[in-house]
Chains A and B, each alone.
Chain A
């Protein structure tokens, strides 16, 4: 079921003509439900993957997916809402129980990287969906890879160095252990995003004028 298009964005009330003013209730609930989706993926035990059955947690999948499905604005808002819920102490982060304590934890850098990751993935995905008619899965996969390599991994390494007191070399080694899983998750995010945009074509492809 698709929401009907909103034709009049309404008067700009406080002289701030940002996209916020045009978010209707469906946008609001997409933001909230995707924040919940990241939380659900983070707290449900990981899926065993491949012949060895090594479980991967799906928290970063949720973040990437949110970016490429909702686009930069709503995607970033959803990830920020997820972080806010975790920081006030709701148990929505993988492993740790949430609260300000995670800011001192070894994975703080990864958490801080989530909003910019969704932003970058969302910006690239929006460009892909509006311009490219073919190879969308591959292009969306590349968008996720660029987003995760430019935000999640550098900030994650920085967090490991500051909070876990690892040397740069050790931090990069620890971070590298996540790379194969990350590639799998990015492939998955791209496949899922293509399915979602096929089922709900108006989510992102239409210019939000």
Chain B
């Protein structure tokens, strides 16, 4: 397993207004920004969203300007090309509306993940499923699936790197099939092991009444 766990370390401890806010209003504001930009793309919308996001990060989370700019780096190539295209074809005002709006939404979303510990984020997500319990949703199983998923990402990413290195050692790095097949087979086997481990602990069963009599049929690995 390699250092991919740090990819998920989004929360950076700090001080500021946003750190003290509960998750719900922050998430609602971030979602509101996205809806506003998609629904009403205009100069006032983009300016407002950008101003809100920057205020949130610079003042609410006390980030430096450099840190804030760095948050947009992963998206920079796409945003740059888009800005150029819009500027040349429809004018620079439109380029600002489109690219500024997207950047504002990305920063707004980042301000939420930056100031909310992962566990709070996960608990909040699972509680979102609660109103849908009547429709058959199961918040506990949803939360369990989410945490298994998070635990699996570093394992799989590390496996992927190992498998690619093995392929490179054989001079086969240009063959995606060689590079990915062991990863996918490993993922399925890993899922089966995890499923059996969960069953052995009685976790993740949908209803306790269902479990009676099944322990004898199951081969626990």
Chain A residues in the interface with B (C-beta under 8 A): 1-8, 10-11, 13-14, 16, 18, 20-21, 23-37, 39-41, 43-44, 47-50, 53, 58, 61, 65, 69, 81-82, 84-85, 88-92, 95-108, 162-166, 170, 184, 188, 191-192, 195-196, 199-200, 203
Contacting pair B157 A30 (CB below 8 A): no
B85: shortest Cβ distance to chain A, in Å? 8
Interface residues of B in 176-197 (CB under 8 A from A): 176-177, 179-181, 183-185, 187-196
Nearest CB in chain A to that of B155: its residue? A36
- Report how far A30 CA is from B180 CA in the complex, Å: 18
Q: What are the residues of chain A within 8 A of B18 when measuring CB–CB?
A: none
Q: What are the residues of chain A within 8 A of B125 when measuring CB–CB?
A: 84, 88
Nearest CB in chain B to that of A50: its residue? B174
Contacting pair A164 B179 (CB below 8 A): no
Question: Which residue from A10, A34, A84, A95 sits with its C-beta under 8 Å from B191?
Answer: A34
Contacting pair B105 A43 (CB below 8 A): no
Cβ of B156 under 8 Å from chain A: yes
Contacting pair B30 A188 (CB below 8 A): no
Q: What are the residues of chain B within 8 A of A106 when measuring CB–CB?
A: 78, 82, 102
B81: shortest Cβ distance to chain A, in Å? 10
Contacting pair B198 A25 (CB below 8 A): yes
Report the count of interface residues on B (CB-CB < 8 A). 93
Chain B residues in the interface with A (C-beta under 8 A): 4, 7-8, 10, 27, 30-31, 33-35, 37-38, 41, 71, 74-75, 77-78, 82, 85-86, 89-90, 94, 97-98, 101-102, 105-110, 112-113, 116, 121-122, 124-125, 136, 141, 144-146, 148-153, 155-157, 160-161, 164, 173-174, 176-177, 179-181, 183-185, 187-196, 198-199, 203-207, 209-210, 213-214, 217-219, 221
Contacting pair B146 A32 (CB below 8 A): yes
In the complex, the 6 A-B pairs of residues with the closest C-beta atoms, listed nearest first: A99-B109, A26-B195, A10-B210, A36-B152, A89-B113, A101-B109
Contacting pair A98 B109 (CB below 8 A): yes
- Report how far A37 CA is from B156 CA in the complex, Å: 7
Contacting pair A33 B191 (CB below 8 A): yes
Q: What are the residues of chain A within 8 A of B85 when measuring CB–CB?
A: 166, 170
Contacting pair B74 A96 (CB below 8 A): yes
Q: Answer whether A89 and B136 are a contact pair too, CB < 8 Å, given A25-B196, A40-B157.
A: no
Q: Answer whether A89 and B10 are a contact pair too, CB < 8 Å, given A25-B198, A99-B30.
A: yes
B65: shortest Cβ distance to chain A, in Å? 18
